[in-house]
Chain A
């Protein structure tokens, strides 16, 4: 018999209750919410350098802009999400097979074949793309106007700008993927602040209980809940 996590005794209850208190004091949403999060400009990135951070703020603000209906990457704190992801297992390709030999120029259908980790791809990609912006527009990406930024990103996406330093990895592909992840992931990971992206599209988040709504074609009215219990 497995006895893992059993807490049928009073003693077990007391211990887990005590543990519960300790954890809740650190992570409870009601407590966390009392302090507004630090402004993105003042945020100290875990992975990015100050220059890179400036780029990420600017680039994500074009990928999911603030204008128009619904929140943008900035309001939902997508850059924080990306910074934390790159500092963690994802950024380090902790789960991936990274042994050589690498064939970075293999056809795309072979999947990821770069020797670089995602964090390394960002580092190389931001530097080279910013350099391209300097050479072609006399300023780093963040200082360009929105239309020029959009044009540069489009050129990058289409492959008109080729980044040799990312060794076969698609920097734009990663950036766009991670931006959308940060927009829609649970707020636990630093993005989707206030679950605003979920509210925007009408996704109820981590509620995970809808039997009474099966087959109903009316709009579901109740707002989302996050894993930590935040409500909107």
Chain B
């Protein structure tokens, strides 16, 4: 039997980026806010402190900061016919764990979406005709426009302290920035980072081909910075231990560096760690939540009553909780009906490696978000009708790290062991670079999330089941990017080149790391029949439940999701503060 805790105004599930932002915003309203985090507490010192954090094996290879599958995982299958099997050890994606969540271990690529991406179905239908959309592709508009979100993207960029070069300020194209980006109301809070050798070489080559290189928008500080909460970042020192690591230098934007110390000063905020929410409890009529039930580290179950429940866990975990709690009708791929679990999508990436015998890249000189990018093949730059796919990619080059266990790039044909391998590690370490494409991924009728019929978690709850595979549309998109990247690479005259792009028939493989940009499953939209959340991230069915994160993406952007996630969090927080709290009800 669960014990009852004293009631709170707001309970927040998960204390990562969106949990800390919502806590901050709702504490401003004077509400009593409790955040429940199932992982450990984490702070720069002691948890990310130098030198202990500069440990490739512990954090880069053994995933020290990630969610342990033993504690929480899901099952995966590629088709409706397959039997899903557990994702037993981490590989393809790495959900975060503990206070700060994935916000501590990201690289910090912080993008805004394109105008067209937020109304993708309408854009495609208006520009190319509805008939180019494959029958099984279930893309949708987001229900919110870029212009409405712009102030909130701006807010998140100022809080997170993004370093970059604007390309479009209020419609005016700015030299050196991304000329294809959506208009922004002002410049980035910080100038761009300095660039590594590979990034500069790529930018030169791209420029010579008539493309428009610009510095990657970075959540790695380029100088000392103080954000609107008074929180501070120090300049990134290119330590080469960024992705998968907490930042040892207060340089990477994270809940720790940008929000938490300010939040912890608020007397109406409290948080509990090692407290895993098992279920959102609903009132008998199912129209409101009464609170959440969580389990403490000691195994005690506690019912936490609250007027407002914010799901701010990782995308996958938000959907899992909704399925377990009966929030929204579960999606059924056979009929296309139901909304919870619908439209899971991922990210379609590819890349070409370039080897240069005589160039020293010093790859250990790296920052998570260092790099130069071209957006000449972005979603709004491609004739979908002509090219035969819907989607786009940004193309970039930059160095995040030179850690030798996981970042030892060797030419094709090099033996994987023996004297020749050993010789190759000396010859080629620091003599290669890569150019990558980071692209959109559409949603399909049979890419979705539901509860697994067989496997259970440590609390006896069904694991969530992911059904996902690569589709011809997205494979055509990445093959198109290959035809654009290879000529750039060739123009740089490498000694050896190797490309890696998914080709026809590629099946999803959970083993190699691809990206932790899992999206969808409780998507936002304008119609309760086709979306789980309204345009304010409010559950259509249970109006005092708001769901943060990439859970709401109807399909994936061509960009890394955090900028969008942060913007949506502030957008939703504003709606809660201005509109919901004075009169709690369905906002649409």
- List residues of A whose CB falls within 8 A of some B CB: 1-2, 4-5, 62-65, 67-70, 72, 89-90, 93-99, 101, 103, 106, 108-113, 150, 153, 157, 176, 179-181, 184-186, 188-189, 197-198, 200-211, 213-220, 227, 229
Contacts and interface: CB of A to CB of B under 8 A. Distances in A.
Main secondary structure of the interface of B (DSSP, over half): loop
Contact of A206 (B55, B200, B423, B510): B55
Contacts of A203: 364, 402-404, 429
A62 B420 CA distance: 11
10 contacts: A69-B423, A94-B68, A95-B68, A111-B87, A184-B405, A202-B430, A208-B239, A214-B196, A215-B195, A220-B365
Contacts of A111: 85, 87-89, 91, 510-511
B416 A95 contact: no
B50 interface: yes
B265 interface: yes
A65 B426 contact: no
Contact of B430 (A90, A201, A209, A211): A201
Scoring A72, A96, A97, A106 by chain B CB atoms within 10 A of each residue's CB, the highest score goes to: A97
A189 B57 contact: yes
A180 B416 CA distance: 10
A227 B51 contact: yes
Contacts of A214: 194-196, 238, 365, 370
A7 B370 CA distance: 35
B207 interface: no
Interface size bucket, B side? 35 or more
Given A4-B43, A186-B55, A216-B362, A110 B456 contact: no
Given A210-B237, A215-B200, A70 B57 contact: no
Contacts of B248: 208
Contacts of A70: 422-423, 425-426
B519 interface: no
Given A63-B418, A64-B417, A215-B196, 13 more contacts: A5-B46, A95-B63, A99-B86, A99-B455, A103-B85, A108-B509, A113-B88, A201-B404, A201-B429, A207-B54, A209-B238, A211-B236, A214-B365
A109 B195 CA distance: 36
B236 to A, nearest CB: 8
Nearest to B52: A227
Contacts of B510: 109-111
B418 A97 contact: no
A204 B364 CA distance: 8
A217 B362 CA distance: 7
B437 interface: no
A108 B54 contact: no
Contact of A218 (B62, B76, B360): B360
A110 B89 contact: no
Nearest to A180: B405
B264 interface: yes
B459 to A, nearest CB: 12
Interface in B58-74: 61-63, 68-70, 73
A49 to B, nearest CB: 24
A122 B455 CA distance: 27
Main secondary structure of the interface of A (DSSP, over half): loop
A11 to B, nearest CB: 19
Contacts of A211: 194, 235-238
Contacts of A69: 422-423, 426
Nearest to A60: B417
Contacts of B425: 70, 200-201
B68 A181 contact: no
Nearest to B506: A109
B508 interface: yes
A101 B75 CA distance: 12
Contact of A96 (B69, B196, B235): B69
B367 to A, nearest CB: 8
B361 A109 contact: no
A55 B86 CA distance: 32
A176 B417 contact: yes
Interface in B216-252: 235-241, 248
A101 B85 CA distance: 9
B365 A1 contact: no
Nearest 5 Cβ contacts at the A-B interface:
A208-B239, A206-B54, A201-B429, A109-B509, A185-B57
B89 A186 contact: no
B54 A208 contact: yes
B541 to A, nearest CB: 31
Given A185-B57, A188-B55, A213-B238, A64 B507 contact: no
Contacts of B73: 97
Given A95-B89, A186-B55, A227-B55, A210 B365 contact: yes
Contacts of B456: 99
Scoring B41, B405, B507 by chain A CB atoms within 10 A of each residue's CB, the highest score goes to: B405
Nearest to B365: A210
Interface in B12-45: 41, 43, 45
Contacts of B43: 2, 4-5
A222 to B, nearest CB: 11
B454 interface: yes
A72 B421 CA distance: 11
A90 B62 contact: yes
Contacts of B265: 1
A175 B252 CA distance: 35
